[in-house]
Homo-oligomer: A and B are copies of this chain.
Amino acid sequence: MDKKETKLGLTAKKENFSEWFSQICSESGAQLADIRYGVQGCVVHRPWAMKILKKIYSEFEREVEADNHEPYLFPTMIPEENLVKEKEHAGFTPEVFWVETAGSQKLERRLALRPTGETQIYPMYSLWIQSHKDLPWKGYQSRITVFRNEMTTRPFLRGREFMFFETHDVFAAHNEALKQIETDMQIMDRVVKKKLKIPFVFFKRPKWDKFKGADDTFASDSLNPDGRRNQISSTHDLGQNFAKAFSIKFDAENGNKEFGFQTCFGPGIWRIMAALIATHGDDNGLILPVDFAPIQVAIVPITFANNPKSNMAVMKLCEEARQIVAKTNLKAHIDTRDESPGYKFNDWELKGVPLRIEIGPKDVEKSQVVIARRTDRKKTFAPIKELARLVVEQAIEVDKEISRRAEESFKDNTRTASTLEEAKKLLKEYKGFVKTPWCSTEMDGQKCADIMSDETQGGVVCGTPNGREEKPEGNCIICNKPAKHTVYLAKSI
């Protein structure tokens, strides 16, 4: 066997992550996204992916609703004049798709396909918000897509149309806005770090990499196995910039008209899916945490041609097992496809189902089933009478192992560079963050970032780890001026 290929024909994840990722997504992999749709950067989300994505969406919906956000849904098309109202934000227009014709009629003014929601939502906020009694105002839209004319595209990483989730909040005071940003980060911790078991670092982005129109951007980066950072969320301190551009004013308690302070939060649903695939998957396919697996226990009957009586007993035990598992609230499925057991084993491994139950004639004799874990393939013989307890126990073990592996690969993820040469070498050889002294994270530091990016073939300044910034030592590795910050560098996807 070629060492780059598993028996499934998957490229080894460590050898060529990019190739492995494409294969996992494809028809011959876990059938997540079909890129054969015919419009570049626009993919078909297939059922296995949709079921996972819906669970991810539900988690965020539950969290933001618990934080008093109300759901709404805005149109897909945005009038051009909205897009350019906030001067900095107008920088989005080169990336947008334009609708210019309806039927055979030219539209009087062209409409953009939403690249992000601010410019469609805030004009309505200026109508809805009148008084300090209306604040805080918290809204969100979920299960929508946005459109950007990206040049290079990949499923779940960068698309011309991709899945979106956004909250938009207005406060009477700036400190409340900052508190909301903390809350947003806690939501990311609970959903992504704890439930999805994806490690990441929160950064305050340098000013040149903030959201167009924001005062500050806070973003979380996970690491792909090839060492590239994957931005999986952002939450922005918009100050009063958009409030002023879109006239979001309220009657303050003191009787004055005042502009609101705004935040917006966007967990990247696609990027989180990409991180889920990249962080947990192995050379045999996806690996899904139990709560996010569309099927949690795949039951595979081992039957034999020309033995109908034995096969019937096997099927009967499969059904008995299914009912027992279903009662534990794990979702079980009996695979009755007209394929070999080996094919089915591989297929459920590819799809990342946490547990497999195998049942053959010998198991019928012994009134037992075999439980196999997706993570380490360890098998447990479970007498049918103890199945309920053992299947839950094994599911917990799979989740533990997923966490353990993810933490293992993420820990010790940061090296230190005190010269550009060191940074170059590390960004090339080492798969993680590179910590280094930097002149400034204000706009005047961008020039050094551009030089660094050229020198390192695409390195970026992720920013300073939020809440645990380190005192810089020495000088900026590019301009040699005294460093004001210790920043983290990484390659970006």
Contacts and interface: CB of A to CB of B under 8 A. Distances in A.
A133 B139 CA distance: 46
Contacts of A39: 75, 77-79, 111
A123 interface: yes
Contacts of A82: 38
A101 B111 contact: no
A54 interface: yes
A124 B36 contact: yes
Interface in A62-113: 70-79, 82, 93-105, 110-111, 113
A122 B76 CA distance: 24
Contact of A76 (B54, B94, B113): B113
7 contacts: A38-B79, A39-B75, A45-B73, A47-B72, A97-B101, A98-B100, A102-B149
Contacts of A72: 44-47, 50
Contacts of A99: 97-100, 113
B100 A96 contact: no
A100 B100 contact: yes
Contacts of A96: 102-103
Interface residues of A, number: 53
Given A44-B75, A99-B113, A103-B96, A127 B36 contact: yes
Most buried by B among A38, A75, A94, A120: A75
A161 interface: yes
Contacts of A43: 75
A424 interface: no
Given A38-B123, A39-B77, A44-B72, A103 B113 contact: no
A338 interface: yes
Given A100-B100, A100-B101, A75 B37 contact: yes
Contacts of A385: none
A73 B102 contact: no
A219 B191 CA distance: 42
A30 to B, nearest CB: 14
Contact of A103 (B47, B120, B149): B149
B113 A74 contact: no
A481 to B, nearest CB: 37
Copies of this protein, total:
2
A256 B78 CA distance: 50
Most buried by B among A74, A123, A139: A74
Contacts of A54: 71
Contacts of A147: 76
Nearest to A42: B75
A18 interface: no
A46 to B, nearest CB: 6
A6 to B, nearest CB: 25
A113 B114 CA distance: 13
A470 B298 CA distance: 51
A4 interface: no
A139 B70 contact: no
Interface string A122-139: 011001000001000001
A139 to B, nearest CB: 7
A51 interface: yes
A7 interface: no
Nearest to A53: B73
Nearest to A100: B100
Given A71-B54, A145-B76, A44 B94 contact: no
Interface string A20-46: 000000000000001011110011111
A471 interface: no
A25 to B, nearest CB: 14
A34 B103 CA distance: 25
Given A36-B127, A39-B111, A98-B99, 5 more contacts: A38-B79, A39-B78, A50-B71, A97-B102, A133-B338
Interface in A406-421: none
Nearest to A31: B128
By Cβ-Cβ distance, the 5 closest A-B pairs, closest first, are A42-B75, A47-B70, A102-B149, A45-B73, A98-B101
Contacts of A70: 47, 50
A349 B277 CA distance: 48
Contacts of A34: 124, 127
A94 B44 CA distance: 26
A404 interface: no
Contact of A37 (B74, B133, B139): B74
A362 interface: no
